[in-house]
Amino acid sequence: MNVPRSDPASDCGLDVALAVMGGKWKPLILYHLRSGPRRFGDLKRAVAGISEKVLIQQLRELASADVLVRHDYGEVPPKVDYTVTPFGMTLIEALLPLCEWGVRNRTRASADNTFKGKLESR
């Protein structure tokens, strides 16, 4: 993971936060992992609209950033689950106010044609 270098005197760490969890799907994946381990299939169903390929890629990136852990049970058929690390929990705690903001403002954002197509797929 490449964390962009910004002005060290800056008091805003959004560049770091977005480098770790940026993108369309990672915040949603983290939201669904907040309450405990989830299997791949559970996450695929919970994160509506994500393809299997993209989910695999996003989970790998989050694991390489030490945000979550992939646990392979070594069974046949394969059993794998994902758990948030303590580092990842700090990121989830930062995302929860955004979740609350989205719930409070969903109607307003849905009425705005700028966001309409993006919100209808959820």
Sequential DSSP letters for 48-114:
TT--HHHHHHHHHHHHHTTSEEEEE---SS--EEEEE-HHHHHHHHHHHHHHHHHHHHHHHHHHSTT
pLDDT number for residue 110: 79
**Cβ contact 3:16 at 8 Å:** yes
Q: Which CATH class is domain 14-120?
A: mainly alpha
Tokens of 116: 């309409």
User: Tokens 């392979």 map to which residue?
Assistant: 72
Helix (H) or strand (E) holding 21: helix 14-21
38 DSSP 8-state letter: E
Q: Over 70: is that where the pLDDT of 19 sits?
A: yes
Q: Tens digits of per-residue pLDDT, 64-117? A: 999 999 999 999 988 999 999 999 999 999 999 988 988 888 888 877 766 655
Average pLDDT value for the chain: 86
**Interatomic CA distance for residues 89 and 84, integer angstroms:** 6
For the entire predicted model, the pTM comes to 0.80
